[in-house]
Structure 1
Amino acid sequence: MNQVSEEAQPPQHSSADWSHVKETINMLCLAVCQIEATMVDSNQSVDTLTHSFTKLASHTGDICTQIQKLSKPEELEIFKSDFAETAREMNTNIGASIQAFQFYDRVCQRLDHVTRSLEKVSELMQHDEQIANPEQWRSLQERIKSSYTMEAERIMFEYIMRGGTIEEALKIYNHHFEKETEQALDADNDEIELF
């Protein structure tokens, strides 16, 4: 277990402290955490896409301008060199755009998790015989936890279920998400071929 999660352990609640109201609050806090984390990630992806597409448009304009200025054969070599550098920069921006689109897919998956989780909580709360049953809540929470594909989501889930604060859960999530992202980017860089 890493240092962040060891230092920031929320208090454990005994079974005598259990109530469906606390469980509902925990589930709502979890939804808030997931939505907040997703919004931050989606804003970063949109910023990356905006920057990449702006740079691509600028590069395309520069190439067109250079082509228009070509009038002598000796200028062709200079153009080739400039074009090669521009193509490398365009390739970098295209790679960043692809990664941003991959993050967008992850954002959609996470929002879907929030929706499904809230639907399951709502279903449980509609039945008087289930709402006050701790086993029903544990079963629901296990189903929700098992639907997560990212370790950062599972860690955030466990922290909130133990009664941790939204702010601390988001800090822990961001720490783990950044580590997972770095590992995924390293793996993607080894596998993606653009041309």
Structure 2
Amino acid sequence: MAQLERHSLSRSVPDDQLNWSQIGETLTLLALAVAQIDTSMKEGNDSVDTLTHSFTSIASRSRLLLDHFAKVDPDAPQEIKDAAEIIHAEVGKAVVAFQFYDRLSQRMEHVGESLEKMGHLISDPKGRYIEKEWVQLQSEIKANYTMEAERIMFEHILAGRSIAEALEIYHHHFNKPMDDSFGTDDDIELF
């Protein structure tokens, strides 16, 4: 499959097809999914960048406090020293959460690219019926996976398992609790 320009997927269907077709509708929905993934990730990245800057500043300030208490004011009240230690530890936990978001962002970028490549293959009147093209697309998708969990899910889905079965295998294999709610409650929870 030739290298395609990113974000070039559209509903355009060759002239020899009707105005309405399953292929055209599929391409429309794939383009919509890619656009939603990309805009969501852009908005998320902007927010995470702001949070990262804030937490970096907090970490720096809490380190100054800890150093001050250790060197300049060792007789400061213990509760203030403890509070500074807790703040510093919590900031460390937040940094780990940001690293998770970075992995999530990379995975979602790969999902968007894969959907777009699939859309281009579907839009090719000849290529969509060539097994070799689909095998190549699957190989490209699999090559993007960096985590063993992703490869296992990929293999199970390609073997004909349902999404639910693949997720159950993933959760069982990696001892992660199964939670299919995906936070569907639209309420925003503030700290």
TM-score (norm 1): 0.51
Is the 8 Å Cα contact of residues 52 and 93 (structure 1) preserved in structure 2? Answer: yes
Q: Tell me whether 1:116 sits opposite 2:119 in the alignment.
A: no
AA of the residue aligned to 1:25: T
Report the alpha carbon displacement of residue 57 of structure 1 after superposing the two structures with TM: 0.1
Deviations 1:161-187 (CA, angstroms, capped at 9, x unpaired):
xxxxxxxxxxxxxxx75449x9xxxxx
AA of the residue aligned to 2:36: C
**Residue 54 (structure 2) aligns with:** 51
Q: 1:106 aligns with which of 104, 109, 117?
A: 104
Please tell me the root mean square deviation across aligned C-alpha atoms, in Å.
3.5
Following the alignment from structure 2 to structure 1, what is the Cα–Cα distance between the partners of residues 82 and 71?
Answer: 17
- The 5 Å alignment of 1:134-149 reads none
> In the superposition, relative to structure 1, how do residues 31 and 123 fare at CA in structure 2: closer, same or farther (>3 Å)?
same
AA of the residue aligned to 1:83: K
Gaps of 5+ in 2: 1-18, 139-152, 155-162, 164-180
Report the alpha carbon displacement of residue 115 of structure 1 after superposing the two structures with TM: 0.6
Report the alpha carbon displacement of residue 98 of structure 1 after superposing the two structures with TM: 1.2
Deviations 1:45-77 (CA, angstroms, capped at 9, x unpaired):
22222221110101112233344433xxxx52x
Following the alignment from structure 2 to structure 1, what is the Cα–Cα distance between the partners of residues 53 and 182?
Answer: 22
**Residue 34 (structure 1) aligns with:** 37
Any idea what SS the aligned residue of 2:118 has?
A: helix
Following the alignment from structure 2 to structure 1, what is the Cα–Cα distance between the partners of residues 128 and 86?
Answer: 60
**Residue 63 (structure 1) aligns with:** 66
Following the alignment from structure 1 to structure 2, what is the Cα–Cα distance between the partners of residues 65 and 30?
Answer: 51
Any idea what SS the aligned residue of 1:127 has?
A: coil
Report the alpha carbon displacement of residue 125 of structure 1 after superposing the two structures with TM: 2.3
**Residue 164 (structure 1) aligns with:** none
Deviations 1:97-145 (CA, angstroms, capped at 9, x unpaired):
21121122111101100011111221232333748xxxx9xxx9xxxxx
Matched residues, number: 123
Gaps of 5+ in 1: 1-15, 141-145, 148-153, 155-175, 183-195
> In the superposition, relative to structure 1, how do residues 178 and 97 fare at CA in structure 2: closer, same or farther (>3 Å)?
farther
Q: 1:81 aligns with which of 74, 79, 82?
A: 79
Is the 8 Å Cα contact of residues 69 and 81 (structure 2) preserved in structure 1? Answer: no
Following the alignment from structure 2 to structure 1, what is the Cα–Cα distance between the partners of residues 28 and 47?
Answer: 29
Structure whose residues are more often helix by fraction = 1
Q: Equivalent pairs: percent with the same residue?
A: 2
TM-score (norm 2): 0.52
Report the alpha carbon displacement of residue 25 of structure 1 after superposing the two structures with TM: 1.8
Q: Which has the higher contact order (CA 8 A, sep 6+)?
A: 1
Is the 8 Å Cα contact of residues 59 and 91 (structure 2) preserved in structure 1? Answer: yes
> In the superposition, relative to structure 1, how do residues 129 and 44 fare at CA in structure 2: closer, same or farther (>3 Å)?
closer
Report the alpha carbon displacement of residue 79 of structure 1 after superposing the two structures with TM: 5.1
Q: Tell me whether 1:127 sits opposite 2:125 in the alignment.
A: yes
- The 5 Å alignment of 1:178-193 reads 178-179=183-184
